[in-house]
Amino acid sequence: MFLGLDIGTGGTRAVLVNAQGKLVASASADHAPFRSPHPGWAEQDPEDWWRAAKQAIREVLEASGAKIEAVGLTGQMHGAVMLDVSGEVLRPSLIWCDQRTEAECEWLHNAIGRERLIELTANPALPNFTLTKLLWVRNHEPEIFGRIAHVLCPKDYVRYRLTGAYAMDVQEASGTLLLDVAHRRWSGEVARAAGIPEAWLPQLFESQEVCAKISAEAAELTGLFAGTPVVAGAGDQGAGAVGMGILEPGSVSATIGTSGVVFAATAAPTRDPLGRLHTFCHAVPGRWHVMGVTQAAGLSLRWLRDTIAPGSDYDALTAEAAGVPAGSDGLLWTPYLLGERTPHLDSQARAAFVGLTAGHTRGHLVRAVLEGVAYSLKDTFTLFAELGIPVKGVRLGGGGARGPLWRRIQAAIYGYRADVLVAEEGAAFGAALLAGVGAKGWPNLEAACAASIEVAQQIEPEAAAVGRYAEGYKAYRRIYPALKGIHG
């Protein structure tokens, strides 16, 4: 058996996958809600991740009684975990959705040059990235900054507690803004310019490489055997792509969770000179990926449900939306509840319903949200076309793949055949496959995915809806500039 462990935002999930690539058991443990002491701030306690990881591992082992051959880790990306020389946490982690670092982003662009930063790291400075969070601590909490000896991301902190090793994979490291993405190594130039000692940064590995072993102390706490190999793993997007078989150039996924991500594998690092897409190392050695991010994708639907129909079932709401024609009778939704990343790079962007009339119903509101999230993700496909990134089809994942209406909406708006998998098990599943390759259970990731992934349904875009959505997308694209004129 291979164990995959996903340190998410809301909780930690552990899964066991057997040598045939089948999910055998899973267990989850919730995290405490992230703290937001000021608007736009988001912090979590790394010790709470470790508590949840221990709980999830013990439960999945008790449920299966299996012996684990290797462990793979994944989790929320970009979070800054700061440790002192003895490995103690110095402050709560600033996590991926923290938006407090606009001034630090501007400073980086001025200090290094925006174009030079993209040349070095394949990405511009954004509030989400780890480096900007470290700079905020330097500017606002210098006594903490002065005690930093190690910097990790969330899943890598859990690895440290499991093994005592300071390690990170190149896919995760791509989201720190400290990696030379093209050459898969730390960027000394960026670290020096930002004033970050390279000694703080962990050793780098490819995602399937064994980088550590379970310690005797962690074995006693979790039920794993001491000495069990641990592979480097990947951030949630990289591991999730492995779990969906997005390995070869031309393969693309569109995953809707709290946020939404369109992810494409590439044979070489493809930079967007304007920085609207993220370019990262893939979890597959020798490959890269580009991705666009919608900050509030599934969150938009949850917000609408909690606001206008608290306690209602999502299926009941989408059933109402299914009775509304494609295009929602002119009602549009821009899902900028948390600002926006792709393509606007604007943490101050604001959400809006546009085109409301007295004739619109609750079903219209729900359908407009489903369509608006898909329009936002369509922006990434538009950038792929602009940059010559091939798309052969789209695999749907996350909550957006579970409802038949949202599947059809996505296929028609993206304009590609959409595949739905028999079992889309998320990033933890991909981490388990990485562990399996590291333990020689499969010769490579291609073989692991061939054994474990099966397409359940293929959805062709509905011709009548495609035309309506093409017009709707043109209107959608005009909303952001108008809103920016209002909100500055």
State the Cα–Cα distance between residues 450 and 454, nearest whole angstrom. 8
Q: Contact 387/380 with Cβ under 8 angstroms?
A: no
**What is the end-to-end Cα distance of the chain in Å, rounded?**
54
CA 41 to chain centre: 18
236 catalytically annotated: yes
- Strands (DSSP E) found in 145-225: 150-152, 167-169, 179-180, 185-186, 203-205, 210-213
Task: Report, in angstroms and rounded to the nearest whole number, the Rg of the chain calculated over CA atoms.
Answer: 22
The CB density around residue 222, as the number of other CB atoms within 10 Å, is 23
Tell the residue number behind the tokens 């937001």, with chain if given: 36
The DSSP secondary structure of 121-135, one letter per residue, reads HSS---TTSHHHHHH
State the Cα–Cα distance between residues 488 and 482, nearest whole angstrom. 10
Closest by alpha carbon to 29, among 44, 49, 3?
49
Measured CA to CA in angstroms, residue 422 lies from 27, 137, 184, 376, 432 at distances of 20, 45, 34, 26, 17
β partners of residue 7: 12, 75
Measured CA to CA in angstroms, residue 80 lies from 9, 150, 245 at distances of 13, 10, 29
Q: Contact 198/186 with Cβ under 8 angstroms?
A: yes
Q: Which two tokens stand for residue 110?
A: 């001025």
Q: Which two tokens stand for residue 384?
A: 């792929």
Q: Contact 232/283 with Cβ under 8 angstroms?
A: no
State the Cα–Cα distance between residues 202 and 204, nearest whole angstrom. 6
3-state DSSP call for residue 476?
Answer: helix
Please give the DSSP secondary-structure letter assigned to residue 399: G
Helices (H) and strands (E) in the chain, counts: 17, 23
Closest by alpha carbon to 428, among 235, 209, 261?
235
Tell the residue number behind the tokens 């979790």, with chain if given: 222
Give phi and psi for 60, each to the nearest 5.
-70, -35
Set 98, 169, 236, 419: catalytic member: 236
Residues known to be catalytic: 236
